[in-house]
Amino acid sequence: MPAADPTSSGPPSSLRGGRLDRVPAPALFLVSGLTLYLGAAVAVGLFETLGAPTVSWWRIVLAAVVLLAWRRPWRRRWTRADLGHAALFGIALSAMNIVFYVAIDHLPLGVAVALEFTGPVAVAAITGRGWRERGAILVAAVGVVLLAGITLDGDVPRDDVVIGLVAVFCAAACWAGYIVLGKRVAGGGSGFDGLAVGMAAGALVFAPFFGGSVVTVVPDVGLLAFLLVVAICSSVVPYVLDQVVLRRVGTATFAVLLALLPATATAVGAVVLAQVPSWPELVGLAFVSGAIAMTATGRD
């Protein structure tokens, strides 16, 4: 793929026009969500071998390698502030991914995704000025109570459920930080270059905790290949497609599309992981999706 102009603040030239622009934005977003959660489903199969946090760290490492090779961000002129914001953004993103993988090791994929969305809903409720943003947090709370209560009353051991719920709400908090920091990175005009630098920073920060797995992973070509699939499906492809979609639709429309993600994750979990939701769980998912859509109304 041709290298993009490192001084450009917008999407790379390879994404400005061409075949991707002929595909409807909702279709691109659906592909983004499917690849994201298919990657997560593949990752679940690796948890017994490496552990959920280690699999997530390798996802970050390999995604950083792919993005660095593609974007070559060292060609850009960076200010100290821009580098700092990109690094913090990447650390928040990495922390979010790690604790989310811990969550899906203990909770059904669809439930974990829905609960994690309390992070962006809370950001919208705090920063928004209308009644819809305020009401959205109440609607989301109903969904959270339903999903958490049903999960606690299910067949999964209570200790596992508690660990999963703590992890997913930590992921939600990290997602809130990711949104705030992401706006600063985008405002600085670094775009994909900032993402590449950020993921590299996140990989380095968490290396002391998970870097010891190198002796296990690197000699195992098959395991490394599966981890690369997780990295490409769950990080590289979704982030690139999201940028393409955001370029073509307003943030309000994008936020409405986000409401499809809990349903997408539930479908992937049911088909790939045999995690079939109950009717009360579906009601809880509907409440959370409704809250996501409410935060979009009136924004552009």
For residue 234 the two structure tokens come to 């769950």
CA distance 152 to 162: 8
For residue 98 the two structure tokens come to 């790690």
CA distance 159 to 273: 21
Closest by CA to 155, choosing from 202, 96, 108, 209, is: 108
Torsion of CA 242, 51, 95, 284, to 10 degrees: 60
CA distance 137 to 172: 13
CA distance 248 to 17: 11
Considering Cα of 204, then 222, then 31, then 105, what sign does the dihedral take?
A: negative
Scanning the structure block, which residue is given the tokens 């000699």? 219
CA distance 243 to 221: 31
CA distance 197 to 169: 26
CA distance 181 to 187: 10
Digitized pLDDT (tens) for each residue of the chain, 300 residues in all: 333 332 233 444 444 445 666 777 778 888 888 898 899 999 999 999 999 999 999 999 999 999 999 989 989 888 888 888 889 989 998 999 999 999 999 888 888 888 888 887 777 777 766 777 667 777 877 777 777 665 555 566 677 788 998 999 999 999 888 777 776 766 666 677 888 999 999 999 999 999 999 999 999 999 999 999 999 999 889 877 876 776 676 655 666 677 677 878 888 888 888 888 777 778 887 888 787 777 765 444
Q: For the chain, give every domain's residue range.
A: 26-296
CA distance 259 to 257: 5
